[in-house]
Structure 1
């Protein structure tokens, strides 16, 4: 029987060749052979996440955290994935929001607030939170979310434009 390290070596060989699907198969074979090895779940989760397979990435990340007894590196990875999932859910809510109701915006802002708590470095979550707050006419909160996004991505000119527009909307409300 192969050792976990042997499987990982095969998986990394595939990753270097940009064959992420085959790498995932190697990680999953390794997990099948060594179901109590937390690092295999963690590495498989990372590979799924890079391949934009969010649900299996979350599943493997949760198992890695559980098996490791809450190893910090695994917990941080899981939180990043959970923030990504919340951000996606909020994005869907905002896309399907009907203009006559504020309910989707309230729910989206709740999800995005949690996403920014789980992953404070997610520029996307901060920007979407600012948009949700703007749609709720909560411009002070929108400004704060935009300022947080600008701190994370100071080279992004669009963020400064959004900041100016939001400041103008706030002025017109006063």
Structure 2
């Protein structure tokens, strides 16, 4: 059997994904890209696989490359925005602390994440938590409501909404 072509390599990558072997999938995608470096969809697909493996910088690198190769493709742009939002959320986690001293930085970052990806339930959850730490309970409630619009069954969100409503009530009474 001769050398596989790009489409066959991509098929092998998807077989690996179905077998939950993401490392092997990455290898197949990389071989396809080596064969067709200007194929934007190969970079895009590899980016998705890297994102699933929590290799965010590699995912962003390949998503950016897909856009450079095919700037007209909208879902490449949405994917990159989603990845950048994820990157910002991870950065924001470093600023959330119980003292609230750096929490405003986390809030600023999380607002950026929400602006990039308005479907990120994780960003709304963390934003709600961050606002509650600085006793901005109405903002915390608003953030958790946005989370529950996206995921009405989100258990932590349901509990936090009740908690923040009670804290707001006590805060207003004192």
Instruction: Say whether the fold is shared (TM-score over 0.5).
Output: yes
For 1:130, the equivalent position in structure 2 comes to: 128
For 1:69, the equivalent position in structure 2 comes to: 71
For 1:141, the equivalent position in structure 2 comes to: 139
The alignment of Structure 1 onto Structure 2 pairs a total of residues equal to: 170
For 1:34, the equivalent position in structure 2 comes to: 36
For 2:156, the equivalent position in structure 1 comes to: 158
1:3 and 2:9 matched: no
Give a deviation string over 1:97-127, Cα, whole Å, max 9, x none.
362x52x211111111111122222211101
Once residues 65 and 92 of structure 2 are traced to their aligned partners in structure 1, the CA distance between those partners, rounded to angstroms, is: 25
Following TM superposition, where does structure 1 have runs of at least 4 consecutive aligned residues deviating by more than 2 angstroms? 1-4, 171-174
1:167 and 2:165 matched: yes
Normalised TM-score (structure 2)? 0.89
Q: Report if the CA contact (8 A) 2:67-2:76 is conserved.
A: yes
- Which of 101, 114, 117 does residue 116 from structure 1 map onto? 114
Once residues 49 and 82 of structure 1 are traced to their aligned partners in structure 2, the CA distance between those partners, rounded to angstroms, is: 11
Structure 2, unpaired ranges of 5+ = none
Provide the aligned C-alpha RMSD in A: 1.7
Q: Report if the CA contact (8 A) 2:66-2:76 is conserved.
A: yes
Once residues 73 and 39 of structure 2 are traced to their aligned partners in structure 1, the CA distance between those partners, rounded to angstroms, is: 13
Give a deviation string over 1:29-74, Cα, whole Å, max 9, x none.
2212221110110010111111221111111111111211141111
Structure 1, unpaired ranges of 5+ = none
Normalised TM-score (structure 1)? 0.89
Q: 1:133 to 1:24 in 2, by over 3 A?
A: same
SS at structure 1 position matched to 2:152: coil
Q: 1:157 to 1:25 in 2, by over 3 A?
A: closer
Deviates more, 1:57-66 or 1:28-37: 28-37
Once residues 110 and 135 of structure 2 are traced to their aligned partners in structure 1, the CA distance between those partners, rounded to angstroms, is: 16
SS at structure 2 position matched to 1:168: helix
Equivalent residues in 2 for 1:15-26, closer than 5 Å: 15-26=17-28
Once residues 98 and 166 of structure 1 are traced to their aligned partners in structure 2, the CA distance between those partners, rounded to angstroms, is: 16
Deviates more, 1:150-159 or 1:43-52: 150-159
Q: Report if the CA contact (8 A) 2:40-2:69 is conserved.
A: yes
- Which of 47, 59, 62 does residue 60 from structure 1 map onto? 62
Q: Report if the CA contact (8 A) 2:30-2:46 is conserved.
A: yes
